[in-house]
Amino acid sequence: EEIVRDFLKLDRPQAEIAQIVQAKEERYRAILRERGLPMLPGVEHWLKALRADGWRHAIVTSAPYLNVEATMMATHLDQLVDTIVCGDDVVNGKPDPEPFLLAADRLGVPPAHCIVVEDASLGLEAGRRAGMKTIGVLTTHATLEANVVVRSLADLEEKAFDHVLRGA
């Protein structure tokens, strides 16, 4: 609601802003159902390769559950991900570590054995605060602070995740 109010420069009652946000979210989900959603380069490769090596995967997002569900259907990520933590699951969102700690708990993996892959500074900060290693992907920001930063996951070397986890 804050983004809609600020972006559209609207000074309207809260109920009206909520209606605009709801309409935007419904349209977003409809577009996903109609057009699908391609995965970013390297995402599917890494999810499959890491799964073959025994890694478990979580999606951690600030998005509401209905948007996550629509995204999962549009990308078929539901077949590659073990758990999802969305904005509806936590009290404190990124940069608070709560969403990533919940994901680690659901996966049964200690935070120190987790790697956060993010394209946003607040997500990387949340991962660091959770005691996790980080890989920053420069999709929307010019610079990111992470253990490793790449333009695309397709740019990662073959054993990149193992190296990041070991601190190499």
Secondary structure (H, E, C), the chain: CHHHHHHHCCCCCHHHHHHHHHHHHHHHHHHHHHHCCCCCCCHHHHHHHHHHCCCCCEEECCCCHHHHHHHHHHHCHHHCCCEEECHHHCCCCCCCCHHHHHHHHHHCCCHHHCEEEECCHHHHHHHHHCCCEEEEECCCCCCCCCCEEECCHHHCCCCHHHHHHHCC
pLDDT of 31 higher than 80: yes
- Per-residue pLDDT, 1: 75
pLDDT tens per residue, range 154-164: 999 999 999 99
- pLDDT score recorded for residue 166: 93
The per-residue pLDDT for 145 is 95
